[in-house]
Structure 1
Amino acid sequence: MVAFASLSDPLLLYLRFQLSPDLPTHIALSQTCRRLRQLYLDDDPFWQFLCFGAGFGRPLRLRREERGDTVELGNALPWRMLAHVLVNHARSCEIRSCRDANADFAEHYRSSARTGIRSPLPTHTQARDRDIALHPLYFYLHFSQFPFDHATVRDPTPDVLAVLLTLLPTFPECRSSQYGPLCSHPNASCAFATFPPMESLNFQDAQGNTFLTVHNPDGCTILDINRALAALIPNEIAALEIALSHYQDLIRTSGLSKTQWADMVSKERGFLGDHEYPFLRELVALA
């Protein structure tokens, strides 16, 4: 076997470029080949190229202002760090649809004539255009009944309950086997929401009315859409009761008071460090 040390610099660079966009392979190479290590460290655009080829984007990080508005902070994680997060999570997550969240992209990428795509396409007018394929996780996470008949439901509107449940915590022993919340599962969160990836998506209901617009210059991800849908959840008593009931179930098994539990769970911020559980302040107010 030829040692890396015996290869010339041009050949090493050629080898690196020709490797498939397999993130574990490139991470291993960056850690074992000293001559390529610094290049991997300094070349974040190359990691973006690898993540894109593997079917992963970079969700926008959010911040909630004092007045309650949510604003975009932009992309917080360097692409190299994001690649490490994705590979590490895939090793421990028990949810197959999270571990293999990029499989749908890879299947489309192999079978599509658009193999020259290297970056998200700018925009389109309708999220379910003939040439746009939505990721199965979009339906799985945001609809109470899945699968459903696409022949009779052309552009279904997501269910408020299903969306709300993707924002709530789960039991500690279930964190690696349930989407609770979605942002604790980076592979599912970072999967491109469509193939081909799009910078902007407009979702329409069955009447043709646009009810949601999502934008991410790095390509819209499942988490981007999830958070946009979450922003549409009405701040009404029905949603509050669902969240509080869910919290009460978790508190009863924790052995903590409401205040103690709320303080503990509020520190769980997801892989972007920006998640806030809905109606948590209302829970504390009832303590």
Structure 2
Amino acid sequence: MSAPIRIGTRGSALALAQTGQIADRVRRASGGEVEIVTVTTEGDTSRASLSSLGGTGVFASALREALLAGECDLVVHSLKDLPTAPAEGLRIGAVPKRADARDALIARDGLTLATLPEGARVGTGSPRRVAQLRSVRPDLVLSDIRGNIDTRLGFVHGGSLDAVVLAAAGLGRLGRLDAATELFELSAHPSAPGQGALAIEVRERVPAALAGVLQGLEHASTRLAATAERAVLARLEAGCAAPVGATALIDSDLLLLTATVYSIDGSRSLSASHGLVLEGPPAARIELATELGHRAADELLEAGAAELAPLR
């Protein structure tokens, strides 16, 4: 009897829900047993803001250490939380199909961003979301919040905040999307690079049977779009807590990307939009997606992005 495939994950309700979905697919594809291994990360134990923790890697490092130590065979990350720099000895083995990449407003009394009263109290732990909210509604009183989705929704239901902003994908994976009172369109509110997508990280060398399972999890279009978005962050040398939004989409063989850098007070922003035709085998297309992200980032840097916002 073969050993079970061990899947590492954070212990939050959202992480367990999305890992459970991946575990079901791994179980069906492999025909074998699957074991979920819960790993505690720095981001789970610290109550400090993500920006003060550095953002990049606070949820990923412990998972990666467990993977390298052989405590699990693969780990499931929210792609937006994964550092853009490669980890020695590891690779992203699969990027499943992306869920909704948009941000969601959850407000009392069914309110929207436009109808929130002047001076309304809105919670978010994301500098990007802070900048975007301030750019549209500078009158809002913004609170830096942490905690799982239920905790954050509780701030609204308990009356301490008028609204919070969360990822629509997370709400959807927990069956809580009905709590959203507004979904922000990506054209006006680009979300974090990779938001809505998962990353299945593995050691560089995996058994042939596991490689076959990973191939079944892979969604090529999602990987290409996320690669372009994350290449913007990498070129900017920015972390996942930086006030940067990016949206890539594929139309036939055309990959389109728009990236925006915000000042923290929301008063200014810089955007760059580029596109290219995807050609060649999968590896060549990944290179093209990376090139597209670098091209957008270079334009932003030339326009003064590094002076506009704290990118590290």
* Same fold (TM > 0.5): no
Structure number with the higher helix fraction is 1
Q: TM-score band, normalised by the shorter chain?
A: under 0.3
Higher strand share: 2
Q: TM-score, normalised by structure 2?
A: 0.21
Normalised to the residue count of structure 1, the TM-score between the two structures is: 0.22
- Structure with greater Cα Rg: 1
